[in-house]
Structure 1
Amino acid sequence: MKKSYLFFLACLFLGLDTNVYAIDVNTFRYQGPYAVYRPLMLDSIDINAEKFSDESLLKTSLMVQANDESKVYTGKQAPTSTDAYALHLLKFNFRSRGYVKGQISVTGLKSYEVTIDGQSAQGEQTFLPGTHLVTIKYMSRKGRREALKVSVKADKESLLSVDADAERSYSLGDVLDGKRFSGVSLSHDGRYQITSYRITEPEEESYFVWRLTEVATGKLIIESLSTLKWVPGRNAYYVEESLKDGVRLTMTDIETGQQRVLATRLPIGASFMISPTLKDIIVSNVQQGPAEHKDIYQIVEPDDRQPGWRDRKSLGTYKVETGILQPLTFGFHNVVVQDISTDGRYLLIMTSRSRLTKRPTTLYSLIRIDLQEMKSETLVADDGFIADAKFSPDGRSLVVKGSPESFGGVGKNVPEGRIPSMYDYQLYTLDIATRHVMPLTRSFNPSIAQYEWSRADGQIYFSALDKDYCRLFRLSPADGKIVRIDVPEDMVTEFSLANQSDRMAWCGMSASNSDRLYLLNTKSGQSELVEDLSRDILKGVKLGKCEAWDFVNSRGDTISGRFYLPADFNPAKKYPLIVNYYGGCSPTSRNFESRYPQHLYAAMGYVVYVINPSGAAGFGQEFASRHVATAGQGVAEDIIEGTRKFCEVHPYINTQKIGCIGASYGGFMTQYLQTRTDLFAAAISHAGISDHTSYWGEGYWGYSYSEVSMGDRYPWSDRKLYVNQSPLFNADKIHTPLLFLHGSADHNVPLGESIQMFNALKLLGRPTAFVVVDGQDHHILDYKKRVKWQNTIFAWFAKYLQDDSAWWDSLYPKVAIDE
Structure 2
Amino acid sequence: MSDYSWSPAEDYIIYTEYKTAEKPGDLKRIYGNDDRLPYFRNRSFLHKIDLSTGEIIQLTAGNLSSSLQDIKPDGSTILFSTTRMDYSEVPFHKQNLYELDLNINNLTTVWEDKLYSGYCQYSPDGNKLLVQGGPECFGETGVNVSEGRIPNSYDSQLYIYDLATKVVEPITKSFDPAIGDAYWSKNNEIYISVTEKDYENLYKYNLQSKKINKINLLVEVLGKIDFAHNKPFAVYTGTSISTPNKLYSIDLKKGNSKMISFPEKDRFTNIQFGKTEPWNFVNKNGTTIYGRVYYPPNYDAIQKYPVIVNFYGGTSPIERSCGGRYPINTWAAEGYIVYVLQPSGSTGFGQDFSALHVNGWGFDAIDDIIDGTKKFLDSHPTADSEKVGCIGASYGGYTTMLLQTRTDIFKTAISHAGISSISSYWGEGYWGYSYNTGAAKFSYPWNRKDIFVENSALYNADKFQNSILLLHGTADTNVPVGESLQYYAALKILGKDVEMVLVDDQNHWILDYKKRIEWHYTIMSWFNMKLKNQPQQWNDMFPEKNL
TM-score bucket of the superposed structures, by smaller chain: over 0.9
Could you say if the C-alpha distance between residues 384 and 540 of structure 1 is closer, same or farther in structure 2, counting changes exceeding 3 Å? farther
Return the offset for 1:538. Answer: 1.3
Match of 1:318 in 2: 49
* Counterparts of 1:396 and 1:745, CA distance in 2: 46
CA distance in 1, matches of 2:245, 2:118: 28
The amino acid across from 1:334 in the alignment is: S
Quick one: structure 1 residues 279 and 711, their matched pair in 2 at CA, closer, same or farther if it must change by over 3 Å?
same
1:283 shift after superposition? 2.5
Per-residue displacement from partner, 1:696-738 (whole Å, max 9, x unpaired)?
0000001000111101111112111111110100001112211
Superposed displacement of residue 680, structure 1? 0.4
| Partner of residue 4, structure 2 | 272
Say if 1:450 and 1:494, in contact at 8 Å, map to a contact too: no
Asked if 1:376 corresponds to 2:107, the answer is yes
Letter in 2 for 1:418: R
Report the counterpart of residue 727 of structure 1 in structure 2.
457
1:646 is matched with which residue: 359, 371, 376?
A: 376
**C-alpha distance in structure 1 between counterparts of 2:405 and 2:98, whole Å:** 49
Residue number in structure 2 paired with 1:289: 21
The amino acid that maps onto 2:364 is G
Task: Answer yes or no: is the 8 Å Cα contact 2:69–2:119 preserved in 1.
Answer: yes
The equivalent residue for 2:252 is 522
Displacement of 1:476: 1.2
How far, CA to CA, are the matches of 2:418 and 2:503 in structure 1? 14
Q: Tell me how far 1:378 sits from its aligned partner.
A: 1.8
Deviation at 1:503, TM superposition (A): 0.9
Q: Give the counterpart of 1:417 among 145, 148, 152.
A: 148
Whether the 8 Å CA contact 2:407–2:465 is kept in 1: the answer is no
Residue 396 of structure 1 pairs with residue 127 of structure 2: yes
More divergent stretch after superposition (715-724 vs 375-384): 375-384
Instruction: Give the drift of 1:323.
Output: 2.3
SS of residue matched to 1:358: coil
Query: Is the 2:193–2:200 contact (alpha carbons within 8 Å) kept by the matching residues of 1?
Result: yes
Superposed, which structure 2 residues align to 1:780-791 within 5 Å? 780-791=510-521
Specify the structure having the higher radius of gyration (Cα).
Answer: 1
Counterparts of residues 655-734 of structure 1 (less than 5 Å): 655-734=385-464
Q: Which residue of 1 aligns with 2:236?
A: 506
| Residue deviations 1:556-585 (CA, integer Å, cap 9, x gap) | 110010010111110100000000011531
Report sequence identity in percent: 42
Contact 1:583-1:614 at 8 Å conserved across structures: no
- CA displacement at 1:632 relative to structure 2: 2.2
Q: 1:435/1:618 Cα in 2 relative to 1: closer, same or farther (>3 Å)?
A: same
Runs of 4+ more than 4 Å apart: none
Contact 1:584 1:615 in 2 (8 A): no
- Helix, strand or coil at the partner of 2:290: strand
CA distance in structure 2 between the aligned counterparts of 1:384 and 1:781, rounded to whole angstroms: 34
* SS of residue in 2 equivalent to 1:528: strand
Q: Distance in 2 between matches of 1:533 and 1:662?
A: 30
Rounded Cα–Cα distance in structure 1 between residues aligned with 2:224 and 2:259: 15
Partner residue in 1 for 2:38: 307
Measure, in 1, the Cα distance between the counterparts of 2:95 and 2:466.
Answer: 45
Matched to 1:274, the amino acid is: W
- Aligned equivalents of 1:489 and 1:632: distance in 2? 34
The yes-or-no answer on 1:573 pairing with 2:303 is yes
Work out the CA distance in 1 between the residues paired with 2:220 and 2:118: 25
Change (3 A) 1:695 1:469: same
Superposition pairs of residues 405-804 of structure 1, within 5 angstroms: 405-455=136-186, 457-582=187-312, 584-804=314-534
User: 1: CA distance between counterparts of 2:526 and 2:121?
Assistant: 48
The whole-number CA distance in structure 1 between the counterparts of 2:351 and 2:459 is: 31
Show CA shifts across 1:404-450 (max 9, x none): 00111210001223211111000000011111100000000000002
Q: Which has the higher strand share?
A: 1
Give the letter aligned to residue 392 of structure 1: S
The CA distance in 1 between the partners of 2:158 and 2:434, in whole Å, is 23
Deviation, structure 1 residue 488: 1.8
Match of 2:85 among 354, 376, 388: 354
Contact 2:152 / 2:358 at 8 angstroms: preserved in 1? Answer: yes
Q: What CA distance in whole angstroms lies between the structure 2 residues aligned with 1:368 and 1:637?
A: 48
**Offset from partner CA, 1:614-640 (integer Å, 9 cap, x none):** 000000000000000120201011011
CA contact (8 A) 2:142 2:170 kept: yes
Give the Cα–Cα distance (whole angstroms) in 2 for the partners of residues 555 and 279 of structure 1.
58
Contact residue 313 and residue 393 of structure 2 kept, 8 A: no
The amino acid of 2:165's aligned partner reads T
Stretches of structure 2 lacking an aligned partner (at least 5 in a row): none
Structure 2 vs 1, CA of residues 767 and 634 (structure 1 numbering), >3 Å: closer, same or farther? same
CA distance in 2 between partners of 1:499 and 1:541 (Å): 39
Q: Alpha carbons of 1:381 and 1:534: their partners in 2 closer, same or farther (altered >3 Å)?
A: farther
Choose between structure 1 and 2: higher helix proportion. 2
CA contact (8 A) 1:360 1:385 kept: yes
Aligned partner of residue 524 in structure 2, secondary structure: helix
- Partner residue of 1:106? none
* 1:755-784 deviation per Cα after TM superposition (whole angstroms, max 9, x unaligned): 000001001000000110010000011111
The one-letter code sitting in structure 2 at the alignment partner of 1:346 is T
- Alignment-mate amino acid for residue 367 of structure 1: Y
Question: CA offset at residue 797 of structure 1?
Answer: 0.5
Secondary structure (helix, strand or coil) at the match of 1:760 reads helix
Counterpart position of 1:340: 71
Instruction: Give SS of 1:715's match.
Output: coil
Task: Give the whole-Å Cα distance in 2 for the aligned partners of 1:600 and 1:387.
Answer: 39
Matched residues in 1 for 2:424 and 2:351: separation?
29
Q: CA RMSD in A?
A: 1.3
Uncovered stretches (5+) of structure 1, i.e. residues with no partner: 1-268
Cα distance between partner residues in 1 of 2:85 and 2:415: 33
CA shift, 1:289, in A, is 2.5
- Between the aligned partners of 2:266 and 2:194, the Cα distance in structure 1 is 28
State the TM-score, normalized to the length of structure 1.
0.66
Contact 2:313 2:394 in 1 (8 A): no
2:394–2:417 Cα contact (<8 Å) kept: yes
Give the secondary structure class of the aligned counterpart of 2:139.
Answer: helix
**In structure 2, how many angstroms separate the alpha carbons of the residues matched to 1:599 and 1:279?**
48
Q: Structure 1 residue 528: deviation in Å?
A: 1.5
In 1: Cα distance, 2:377 partner to 2:451 partner: 31
Equivalenced residue count is 547
Alignment check: 8 A CA contact 1:514 1:537 kept = no
Measure, in 2, the Cα distance between the counterparts of 1:306 and 1:377. Answer: 32
C-alpha displacement of 1:587:
0.6
Cα shift at 1:270: 4.1
